[in-house]
Chain A
Amino acid sequence: MSSDDEGAAKAPAAKPAMSRFLRTGGSGSDSDDSDSDSEEESEMSQDEGQQQRRSRFLRTESDGEDSDEEATRVVKSARDKRLEEMEACGKTMDNAVKINDWVAISNEFDKLVRMVQRQQNVSEPIPPFFIRQLVNLETALNNAMAKEKEAKKKMNAANARGLNGMRQKVKKVTKEHETEVKRFQADPEAFEREYTAAAAPEAPAAPRTRRPRTDEDEEEGEEDDAFTTVGKGGKAMAFTAESIFKNLQLIQEARGKKNTDRQEQIKILEKLLAVAVTSYQRIRVLLTLVSARFDYNSSVATHMPIDLWNSAQGEVDQLIGVIMLESAYVIQEVTDEYDELAERTPETEKDGIVRIRGSVISFVDRLDDEFTKSLQNIDPHGTEYVDRLKDEKALYCTICRSQALYEKNKSEDPLGRVIMRRLEHIYSKPDPVVHALESAVAASDIKPSIVLDTEGQTSSLIHSLCTHLYKSNNSFLRTRAMLCHIYHYALHNDFHTARDMLLMSHLQESIYSADVATQILYNRTVVQLGLSAFRCGLIKEAQATLQDIFATQRVKELLAQGVHQQRYQVLTPEQEKAERQRQLPFHMHINTELLEAAFLVSSMLVEIPLLASIDTEEQKRKAISKPFRRLLDFADRQIFTGPPESTRDHIMQASKALQNGEWEKCRDLVQSIKIWSLMPECNSVKEMLAKRIQEEGLRTYLFTYAPHYTTLSLSLLSRTFSLPLRTVTSIVSKMIWTEELPASLDQAAGVVVFHRVDLSRTQQLALSLADKVNSMVEQNEKTLDNKLGLTPAWNERGDGAKGAKGGEQTTERRRGGERRGGMRGGARGGRGRGARFAQGLGNQMAGAQRNR
């Protein structure tokens, strides 16, 4: 058959399908993957009706194409067989029309349409028989409808439904084949002749294809070229350079339909790729092939088969390679209309640049997402997971390649996205892993501008990636880059820098309105910051940072490392699915047990001395760390305590020991927690903890036993807690200075002298009464503040509340404050970058203005 005929026969039928494809394709590249996934899904369900009509048996038929020789033979017989089947179908339908059985007709018609569709899929013309049948059916339908209207006795319900359904189906199909139908109606004879003419040349062509193919499989491309010069077509033509576009179009039309054999399509495309000659062809085929691979798995829940992923990754690489080499070819998401079937070269284009519709960034995005998805689904404890993780290197290279591509094209938006992807692959990884990834990039032929420098400083790499993203005008990327940057600093124990960045970013205020993924990243960052504070020995900071997340008791969920079981409400399946999709792959997890250990130990170090220092019940209620206090109370209530098993047990028993002044036991218990081994530099951390335990043990001891002594020798303390005398003196001095401990040092005798005054009940009550009055006034002031809105500050509350130590001083301070406020008064816009202590500053300034 000649290709012209085929084109003519195809074009009208193809149109609706084509536009549908374009729509999905467009949305896939424009929006984010998650969006496009769902869109595609809905698209599919919309098309459901049409898809049902398509053949389910396509595979058996086209499988034959695998081995060439058989293919041709099978094709021939299959062709006849199909025709026969169709005709049989038609007969049954005719019979059914006679007995007015519309249910049967409907079934048969579906079958028939499916067969015709299959016929189209293998690019054969529609047999005139089908058109005839269609026309006949239409008349029969009209008659039936007319009869039905007149008839007194209605059809039974099923039949009526069948009839109505048929009417719609026929209408649709007729529309699809409008031109043929018209031509048929005009001149049935001629139409039939045309068909036989078109079909005829194929018969002699078939044997000829057979011969060269049987000779040599490897020479396929060559043979095909030779073959096409003859100018004859057929199935074998499918894989020649000339017919590439036609085949591509066919595949694109079949895309997204339910009964398309995706595997088969991929195979065809692979062969097409092998024969593609020009860059344009290669690009086109690659674009389609990668999409086809991504299409292979339609379900959102499961991940892409790994071998497919690997080849897709390779092909994206190849695609980028081609475009990088040939600067005259550009892939754009939006292009002018162009003829899908024509070959294009830089010469044929107006400005010498061939623009091809497609989107590399969406491929990269999709690759990355699929990678994550597969990691989410693979059991993290198996070897498969590890094997899969090895693919990250290749993926990372691909991302870097695409970064290079976009750098070359100077397209900012996708470049930002790509860099973000790249950053997300490395920000949470320890240095050696990053080095491994980067070395793979360095080995590849296409490199982005930002690579690991020669000294191998990952921080500087991350820094340059982040600075690039900070410059982008996409605030979403900026936020994420900032968080990744902070995370990286925290991971590398640069607590101060990380903290300053986090505070200056002012993310705390706006993170609640961010999307869930960013919130998760934020949580991870904060948690990592806490851990870094812990590693640096900044116990208080660690405690304060980790406090928030542990107070929620949903650590795993907040870090996206596990789905939370909700007690009172049941998640809908969609919510649960969404939640599962958000989960981080296992290798990115922050170990929650380690996290808890860090949090509880720092809570212990903060809380136990505090507990010891307060003596009234009322004060005890003000806990710094509620989760810790709860656990401690629970442990207290237990009658029997066995040897510690879990991390919590260890820490609880350690806390008990610390309370009793047995710092050695406490230290041993804390150090014997196994989970520390997961912490980098765990030995130094353990040492740091031991030192802290000594110090806090001393403090606790002093608080607890001070009432029972009048003097305590410093050297004894130093011996008991194995601390140098100087440290003991320093700690005791500090406690005296801050008025935690009513005592003083006797330098001559080297002892601490306690001046404890026991308050009588009345005195105690009077004191607490005074406190309450104070807090009431404060409360009033706050209420007034709130009532006046954002700019209250008729009063220097900050100063006044703190210093109730003597009226003159207070008033003096207030005066001073006002004066200070006056100078500050103009500083309204003055949110300097690092406004760290500015709480309560707002009211001071406005107050100053009013005071003037």
Chain B
Amino acid sequence: MAEYDLTRTVIPHCDRHLVFPLLAHLVENELFPAEEVQKAQYELAKETNMVDYAVSLFEQLHPEESVPEEFAGKRENALSTNERLQQEAQAVLDVITNPEVAQSLRQDKNQNLQYLKEHYNVTLEQINALYNFGQFQYSYGNYSGAADYLYHFRVLSTDPDLTMSAHWGKLASDILTGKWDVALEELNTLREAIDSRSPSVPQFTSAPSASITDPALAQLHSRTWLLHWSLFVYFNHPEGRTLLLETFLSPTYLNTIQTSSPWILRYLATAAVLSRKSSSGALSARVRHSLKEIVKVIQMEEYQYQDPVTTFLKELYVEFDFEAAQRALGRAEVVVANDFFLNEFRDDFMDNARYLISEAYCRIHQRIDIADLSERLNLNKEEGEKWIVNLIRETRMGADAKIDLEKNVIEIHRPPLPVYQSIIEKTRGLAFRTQALGAAMTRTTQAPPPASDALPAEVEAR
């Protein structure tokens, strides 16, 4: 199953510290030789300021050798730097934490700066010290501290590049501390920042410096990073999957996925499958919609990327080959179980995937052999029957489907939609749309339309 492991593709798009959990996961699931993974962990830690961690890793790796000298020096160095930076930052922090100051701070950053300078003699350099200290804390693994400092820095700083960098740092810290709500918030602000300010590359990325020259490319880069980082948040936050669908399916990010990171499709597909159940009622329409869209994209990108998860959807919704879908599902289960982001959702995934299969199956068929369906779902007969009863109860087809136990079949009678109903549906939205039309017209007479730098019509779908 190692061939479907995405860790290697994902790592280049993550920050050094974000890779630790990924590697730790690899140690657990034993896809790769433990020693190699440990080596990788060590290499990773060596460059950070987490000296103790690196040392312990080294000891694990080479039990008989003594710890290299450089670590001691590094440790010294780190401690002293920490001391220095903390002192620098403390000055500002004292001022900011002063409730009086906190009250008088406004929305306008320049004004704030002015205010601080006048009253407390806080200069820009001092504020930057916050950033430096935050970054340093991050580098030795004190993520919550880093998040704090970076937050304060961001509130005060006016330097766009550093703010951006602070954004990324804060997001990484929040992810690593596991504060998913905060991280989600942070993610959204960061995304807005990226989308609005095109020419910015996170400073601490390993991005080639050439990319800075081209803002569009830099933005693509940032978006790709954001996609990867957001996986941490979306697959841990309770609401994450639906949010993931919404973000990733927005045209800009869908394009990013198609252009630079097709493997994200796995997460997109999984999220779509997972969201099926939670989306009872009103949400279901959109989720079905998203599935359709994702299937389209999967089909289109098939030549670039496919794995069992995407194959499953393709077989189910493009080829309607239920047997193949079932086989793919079997493999997808393993993939999901082994994936760092997805492993917790394995049962959910399987459940929902089964629902999808049976839903499609029932929609197409009129009479279904229960035994056959159970087999399709990888269930034994009794379980299958239970499953089907549940299915009938839960889904809308309750009224149409009946189980004939004598012949051991399900009969589904789907009366064709009456014509009057379809006409009603066709015309239902019209009044609303006309209203919107009218409203838009009155609105435009009041306010001039915003500057017309929106996208020109882009390439049509293939």
Is chain B a partner of chain A in the same complex?
A: yes
Chain A: residues with CB nearer than 8 A to chain B? 496, 499, 503-504, 506, 508-509, 541, 726, 729-730, 733-734, 736-737, 742, 744-749, 753, 755, 757, 759, 763, 766-767, 770-771, 773-774, 777, 780-781, 784, 788-792, 794-795, 800, 803-813, 816, 819-820, 823-839, 841-843, 845-846, 849-850
Q: Are B419 and A824 in contact (CB under 8 A)?
A: no
* Shortest Cβ distance from residue A235 to the other chain B in the assembled complex, whole angstroms: 64
Residue of A nearest to B198 (CB): A829
Contacts of A771 in B (CB 8 A): 426
Contacts of B68 in A (CB 8 A): none
Residue of A nearest to B196 (CB): A826
Contacts of A733 in B (CB 8 A): 320, 364
* Shortest Cβ distance from residue B288 to the other chain A in the assembled complex, whole angstroms: 10
Q: Which listed residue, B249, B289, B321, B436, touches A794 by the CB 8 Å rule? A: B436
Bound Cα distance from A742 to B420, whole angstroms? 17
Q: Are A832 and B223 in contact (CB under 8 A)?
A: yes
A-contact 0/1 string along B166-208, CB 8 Å cutoff: 0000000000000000000000100111011010000000000
Q: Are A831 and B409 in contact (CB under 8 A)?
A: no
Q: Are B459 and A841 in contact (CB under 8 A)?
A: no
Q: Are B255 and A766 in contact (CB under 8 A)?
A: no
- Cβ of B102 within 8 Å of any chain A Cβ, yes or no, is no
A-contact 0/1 string along B440-454, CB 8 Å cutoff: 110110000111111
- Cβ of B231 within 8 Å of any chain A Cβ, yes or no, is no
Contacts of A757 in B (CB 8 A): 416, 419
* Shortest Cβ distance from residue B74 to the other chain A in the assembled complex, whole angstroms: 41
Q: List 9 tightest A-B contacts by C-beta distance, closest first.
A: A838-B458, A794-B440, A733-B320, A834-B259, A827-B195, A826-B196, A826-B195, A744-B366, A829-B198
Q: Are B365 and A744 in contact (CB under 8 A)?
A: yes
Contacts of B429 in A (CB 8 A): 800, 804, 807, 810-811
Q: Are B255 and A837 in contact (CB under 8 A)?
A: yes
Contacts of B414 in A (CB 8 A): 744, 755
Q: Are B419 and A831 in contact (CB under 8 A)?
A: no
The verdict on A824 contacting B366 (CB below 8 Å), with A831-B455, A841-B251 known, is no
The verdict on A774 contacting B436 (CB below 8 Å), with A789-B452, A824-B195 known, is no
Per the CB 8 Å criterion, the residue count for chain B at the interface is 85
Scoring B286, B289, B368, B429 by chain A CB atoms within 10 A of each residue's CB, the highest score goes to B429
The verdict on A829 contacting B215 (CB below 8 Å), with A730-B320, A767-B419 known, is yes
- Cβ of B209 within 8 Å of any chain A Cβ, yes or no, is no
Q: Are B319 and A730 in contact (CB under 8 A)?
A: yes
Q: Are B285 and A803 in contact (CB under 8 A)?
A: yes
- Cβ of B137 within 8 Å of any chain A Cβ, yes or no, is no
* Shortest Cβ distance from residue A804 to the other chain B in the assembled complex, whole angstroms: 5
* Shortest Cβ distance from residue B265 to the other chain A in the assembled complex, whole angstroms: 14
Q: Are B251 and A838 in contact (CB under 8 A)?
A: yes
Chain B: residues with CB nearer than 8 A to chain A? 188, 191-193, 195-196, 198, 215-217, 219-220, 223, 246-247, 249-252, 254-256, 258-259, 282-283, 285-286, 289, 303-304, 317-321, 323, 360, 363-369, 372, 407, 409, 412, 414, 416, 419-420, 422-423, 425-430, 432-434, 436-437, 439-441, 443-444, 449-462
Contacts of B412 in A (CB 8 A): 744
Bound Cα distance from A482 to B419, whole angstroms? 52
The verdict on A806 contacting B259 (CB below 8 Å), with A499-B462, A835-B459 known, is no
The verdict on A834 contacting B454 (CB below 8 Å), with A736-B363, A745-B365, A823-B246 known, is no
Bound Cα distance from A773 to B433, whole angstroms? 12
Residue of A nearest to B436 (CB): A795
Bound Cα distance from A464 to B220, whole angstroms? 24
* Shortest Cβ distance from residue B173 to the other chain A in the assembled complex, whole angstroms: 23
Q: Are A737 and B457 in contact (CB under 8 A)?
A: no
Bound Cα distance from A736 to B195, whole angstroms? 41
Q: Are B454 and A503 in contact (CB under 8 A)?
A: no
Contacts of A804 in B (CB 8 A): 425-429
Inter-chain residue pair count (beta carbon < 8 A) = 249
Chain B contact surface mostly = helix
Q: Are B455 and A842 in contact (CB under 8 A)?
A: yes
Knowing that A836-B458, A841-B458 are A-B contacts, what are 11 other residue pairs whose CB atoms are under 8 Å apart, sorted by A's residue number? A767-B423, A781-B433, A784-B440, A790-B452, A791-B449, A810-B428, A811-B429, A820-B249, A829-B219, A838-B458, A846-B449
Q: Are B436 and A812 in contact (CB under 8 A)?
A: no
Residue of A nearest to B440 (CB): A794
Contacts of A499 in B (CB 8 A): 462
Bound Cα distance from A492 to B333, whole angstroms? 37
Residue of A nearest to B428 (CB): A807
The verdict on A774 contacting B427 (CB below 8 Å), with A826-B196, A832-B252, A834-B258 known, is yes
* Shortest Cβ distance from residue A614 to the other chain B in the assembled complex, whole angstroms: 17
The verdict on A828 contacting B196 (CB below 8 Å), with A499-B462, A744-B365, A813-B289 known, is yes
Contacts of B246 in A (CB 8 A): 816, 819-820, 823
Q: Are A832 and B367 in contact (CB under 8 A)?
A: no
Bound Cα distance from A825 to B450, whole angstroms? 13
Chain A contact surface mostly = helix
Bound Cα distance from A813 to B287, whole angstroms? 10
Q: Are B216 and A767 in contact (CB under 8 A)?
A: no
Residue of A nearest to B254 (CB): A837
Bound Cα distance from A759 to B246, whole angstroms? 40
Q: Which listed residue, A509, A746, A767, touches B365 by the CB 8 Å rule? A: A746
Bound Cα distance from A651 to B251, whole angstroms? 40
Contacts of B423 in A (CB 8 A): 766-767, 770
Residue of B nearest to A762 (CB): B419
* Shortest Cβ distance from residue B243 to the other chain A in the assembled complex, whole angstroms: 9
22 A–B pairs (Cβ distance < 8 Å), ordered by A: A496-B303, A508-B459, A726-B321, A744-B414, A747-B367, A753-B366, A763-B419, A767-B419, A767-B423, A773-B430, A780-B437, A791-B449, A804-B428, A807-B429, A813-B286, A823-B250, A826-B192, A826-B195, A827-B250, A830-B219, A841-B455, A841-B458
Contacts of A753 in B (CB 8 A): 366
Q: Are A746 and B367 in contact (CB under 8 A)?
A: yes
Contacts of A838 in B (CB 8 A): 251, 255, 455, 457-459
The verdict on A789 contacting B449 (CB below 8 Å), with A742-B416, A766-B423, A823-B191 known, is yes
Contacts of A726 in B (CB 8 A): 321, 323
Contacts of B192 in A (CB 8 A): 823, 826
Bound Cα distance from A745 to B366, whole angstroms? 5
The verdict on A791 contacting B216 (CB below 8 Å), with A737-B364, A747-B372 known, is no
Q: Are A503 and B444 in contact (CB under 8 A)?
A: no
The verdict on A824 contacting B251 (CB below 8 Å), with A729-B320, A736-B363 known, is yes
* Shortest Cβ distance from residue A181 to the other chain B in the assembled complex, whole angstroms: 67
Bound Cα distance from A767 to B420, whole angstroms? 9
Q: Which listed residue, A809, A820, A833, touches B217 by the CB 8 Å rule? A: A833
Scoring A749, A790, A805, A812 by chain B CB atoms within 10 A of each residue's CB, the highest score goes to A790
Bound Cα distance from A744 to B320, whole angstroms? 13
Residue of A nearest to B199 (CB): A829
Q: Which listed residue, A541, A747, A808, touches B369 by the CB 8 Å rule? A: A747
Contacts of B191 in A (CB 8 A): 823, 826
* Shortest Cβ distance from residue B403 to the other chain A in the assembled complex, whole angstroms: 13
Q: Are B460 and A839 in contact (CB under 8 A)?
A: yes
Contacts of B433 in A (CB 8 A): 777, 781, 795, 800
The verdict on A839 contacting B461 (CB below 8 Å), with A748-B367, A849-B450 known, is yes
Contacts of A803 in B (CB 8 A): 285, 289
Residue of A nearest to B439 (CB): A794
Bound Cα distance from A820 to B317, whole angstroms? 25
Q: Are A770 and B426 in contact (CB under 8 A)?
A: yes
Q: Are A824 and B252 in contact (CB under 8 A)?
A: yes
Q: Are A541 and B459 in contact (CB under 8 A)?
A: no
Bound Cα distance from A759 to B304, whole angstroms? 45
The verdict on A790 contacting B454 (CB below 8 Å), with A496-B303, A805-B425, A820-B246 known, is yes
Q: Are B422 and A744 in contact (CB under 8 A)?
A: no
Q: Are B407 and A842 in contact (CB under 8 A)?
A: no
Bound Cα distance from A89 to B118, whole angstroms? 104
Bound Cα distance from A263 to B179, whole angstroms? 88
Contacts of B430 in A (CB 8 A): 773-774, 777
Residue of B nearest to A770 (CB): B426
